[in-house]
Structures are given as C-alpha cells and as structure tokens.
Amino acid sequence: MDISELSEQEIVRRNSLEQIKAMGIEPYPAAEYKVDGYATEIKENFSDDAPVRQVSIAGRIMSRRIMGKASFMELKDSTGRIQVYVSRDEICPDENKDLYNVLFKKLLDIGDFIGITGYVFRTQMGEITIHAQSLTLLSKSLRPLPIVKMKDGVAYDAFDDPEQRFRQRYVDLVVNEGVKDIFVKRNKVYTSMREYFNAQGYMEVETPVLQSIPGGAAARPFITHHNALDIPLYLRIANELYLKRLIVGGFEGVYEFSKNFRNEGMDRTHNPEFTCMEIYVSYKDYNWMMEFTEKMLEKIALDVNGTTDVKVGDNIISFKAPFKRVTMIEAIKEFTGIDITGMDEDALRETCKQLHIETDPSMGKGKLIDEIFGEKCEGNYIQPTFITDYPIEMSPLTKKHRNNPELTERFELMVNGKELCNAYSELNDPIDQRYRFEEQLRLSEKGDDEAMFIDADFLRALEYGMPPTSGMGIGMDRLVMLMTGQTTIQEVLFFPQMRPEKRVKKEEEAAE
C-alpha cells in the first residue's frame, strides 16, 4: 500500500506494530487462545456470595481509562461488553514493566484484540469486572474504529451514514449496538421455520442455482456463459419448477431456502440477490396452505419476539392467526369503485387510464390488473391479509379456480403494504400448462421481458403425472424486516448490493 494513502492515525498504528515486533511480541499469534468465559454470561452468573471465579476471555478493546499504575478498559466479545481492571504490578510481577508501561499504555489501541485471564469481582461502583492477571495481544488493529461519543444524551462522531454502514458492515457490527441483534433474530426466523416444516415430515432440499431456463417466476434474469458447454446459463429467479419435479418424483413435501437473483431495480424492499423459501406439499390446496402459512407466521413471531405483535415504524402488526381473506376483484372494487370482472385487455387499459396508472403496449391483461392492484390496493393492507383468487392471466403456474375458470386458486399475503407470500393450488395439467407457457411466449414477443420461458423438461415431468399439490413462496428478507421492525431490506442483509466504491486520492480530495 502507498504510504501516502494512509491517514495519520493509520501511520501511527503501523509504527506501533513495528515497535511491538521489536519487543519480541507476535502481533498476530497462531496458537489457540483458550476461552472459557463470555461477557454476558459472566455478568449474568456473577454472585457476590459465590466463590471467586477464574476466567479466560478474549475480545476487542473498546475504551480505556489509564490512571498511572492501574487502568480500566472495556472489552467487547461476541456476546457483549465487560469492564476489565488492569494493574501494572499484577500483569508484570517481575522487574520488567514494559508489558504495561509500553505495550498497554502506548502501543495498544481501541479495536485491538486481546486475551485476558483473571478473576471476576464487583467494583466499589457496583460494576462487575474482570481483574486481569495476564494480558495477551491477539491481533493488532491497523485502522481506527469510529467511536461514538455521547454528550448530554446526544451522539457525536456516530457511524450512521447508511452507505458506509452497509458497505462496511464489519465496522457497523462492531460499533453500532443493536445491529448484531437483527441478524441473530434473522437466524431465529430460519430456525423456527425449519422446525415447523421438519416437525411435519417435510424435507429440506437443494436445487440448481445455474439454470438453462430461468423458470418459476415472471422476472428479468442475470445471464452468464458456461465455457465448457458453450451455452448461456441463467442465475435462478425461482426454484419452483425444480421442487415440483421432486413432487413428481415421489416426495410428499419438500422445501428450500433459495438464493434467487433478479436483474431488476433496487429500492427499500428489493435487492438483486435475495432469499426466498419455497415449500410444496402433495395432496393439498391453497385453502390448506393459507391455514398452514398463518400458523407458521404466528409461531415465528412468538419464537423470535415472544409475542405475536410486532412494531414496524408507526404500525403494530399482529401475526395472531387467523388472517383476513379478500379476493383480488373485491380488493380492486373496494379501493377504486370499479368491478373489473369480465374486462378484456382494452377495457383494462382504459380503466388504468381513468385511474391515472401508466401502462405500455407490452402489458397484457395480467400485467394491467397487477398494476391496478399495486397502485391502488396493495399499500392499504397493513395487517396480514390474504388476497385470493387472481385472474388467470396473472398466474401461469396456477390451477384454475374450481368455481370460476376465469380465476385461479392463488393467494398472496400482504403485510405492511407489501407482498410477503405467494401461493397456489399448483397447476398439474400438462396440457393446460403448455397452453399457459405459450401465452407467456406471446407476451414475450410483444416486448414483456419478464414473461416466462417455456420449460420443455418441466412439461415432460408433468406428463408423467404430478399429484394435487399446494406450493408457497415467502420472501425471507421481507419476513426478517417485519420480525425485527426494519423498514429497509438493506438493514437485514449482511452485505446488500452497493454501487462500486469511488476511491479518491487525498490530493484530489484536497483539490476539491
């Protein structure tokens, strides 16, 4: 690295690194450091009446108060923070006091990893503290952490710029309290959902990420090239068609947490790489799946937060089952006053014009209806609501409604004004499915770049016979947003997609 690119503090830390090496201390030791205590657990289990406990703990230095021969510092490990008391004569029992006077007082910095062995006690101020008896440098930090300073209840020097936080999540996790808890809860969401499925005997599976045909959803794919086969491949937009192949193969219930990729826009609820869970169960329909889904979400809310009520922004959202059910046509009529039953494409286009909804010539009936619902209805559903019975043009993989062939047996679950789940009574008639795919091909020829491809192998699989099946997909990132009260998807992804970072040399910055 060019030394001219380093800040003054970074130069000082590199000089400290060289001095540490000159003292014969390895700043990045390879040997295992045995840990038998953690900050949160030590504090929770401390008792003034219990025998003195010896501990070995490791973590980052987050603050220091040096007071001559004795000092206090705050150590942060994977569970939280704890105070450490360091006495020069305790950690340097012989004549050489350099470990304290030079290393601890001058060469160690906030952000360095150290190991401490000692015993736990309570200070006169009442704070549970580790009295250090040995100190080991485990890793020297060469960049200073942004340290939040508080004055009169106001934070200064906070690491709160969203672009910096998302780009440098590793720093965000260290210095901003509460960020790590979001991802701990994310893990609990996945664990709870797996428990729910596994308890009913359904099997977790894995399907291809690289696909020759991007099927299972209406979305624009990412395209790559396989050199050895000399063919184009697509990053999957959905795993639906592969999971249905497994139902054809004889599995009763299968599910997958699927990394999907869609080459579309980015905003507060969309990232080009996202996680979706899809589950397919034989001999079920969409009515069964509605009950299954609401019970699942009620369980997850209780497992993650201990309550079915979740606060998101100004809204308190209740995941207590059962959820409200409204047909799509009823929803559009409620919020526009217009009954779209039986409307053809021209009538729907005219309706969009009346409602001041922009359209383009590539949109067929399904897209036009979807635009009306999205613009006029979706945002009104704050509490969990199943929107059911979608027009057939919107649902090329869905079984026709048993009572109305113009509709399909499909639902989407709306929560906090956004879609969370999408589910069907799955179309298992191979002849009807081929016709629906051909309709999608005609839309593609009109310019709809999100229309589905024809998957000939999937049609072949259906021709071998697929039992009646219900399937459901849920956006895991949006679910985590709800369960953690976040309003942007970037807050629940460790590393959301970002624009390329602009690296500007110091002299160019100075010139500006």
Taking Cα atoms as reference points, which of 243, 251, 246 lies closest to residue 216? 243
Domain with residues 3-150, CATH architecture: Beta Barrel (2.40)
With residues binned 3-state (H G I as helix, E B as strand, rest as coil), the percentages for the chain, rounded to 5, are 35, 25, 40
pLDDT of residue 449: 61
The structure tokens listed for 502 are 């602009």
pLDDT of residue 419: 94
Q: Yes or no: say if 69 and 88 are a contact pair by the CB < 8 Å rule.
A: yes
Output the pTM of the full model.
0.90
Classify each residue of 198-215 as buried b or exposed e, where b means 16 or more C-beta atoms within 10 Å of its C-beta.
eeeebeeeebeeebebbb
For 424-472, the pLDDT digits (tens) are: 999 999 999 998 888 877 766 666 665 567 889 999 999 999 999 999 9
CATH number of 179-323+383-492: 3.30.930.10
The structure tokens listed for 38 are 């953690």
Q: Yes or no: say if 262 and 218 are a contact pair by the CB < 8 Å rule.
A: no
pLDDT of residue 216: 83
Rg (CA), the chain: 29
pLDDT per residue as tens, the chain (512 positions): 667 789 999 999 999 999 999 999 999 999 999 999 999 999 999 999 999 999 999 999 999 999 889 999 999 999 999 999 999 999 988 878 888 999 999 999 999 999 999 999 999 999 999 999 999 999 999 999 997 666 666 656 689 999 999 999 999 999 998 999 999 999 999 999 999 999 999 999 999 999 998 888 878 999 999 999 999 999 999 999 999 999 999 999 999 999 999 999 899 999 999 999 999 999 999 999 999 999 999 999 999 999 999 999 999 999 999 999 999 999 999 999 999 998 999 999 999 999 999 998 888 888 899 999 999 999 999 999 999 999 888 888 899 999 999 899 999 999 999 999 999 999 999 999 998 888 877 766 666 665 567 889 999 999 999 999 999 999 999 999 999 999 999 999 999 999 888 765 544 454 44
Which residue is listed with tokens 């699989």? Answer: 461
pLDDT of residue 482: 97
pLDDT of residue 406: 87
Beta bridge partners of 137: 114
DSSP secondary structure code for residue 170 in this structure = H
For 229-240, the pLDDT digits (tens) are: 999 999 999 999
Domain boundaries, given as residue ranges, for the chain: 3-150, 179-323+383-492
Which residue is listed with tokens 């508080």? Answer: 150
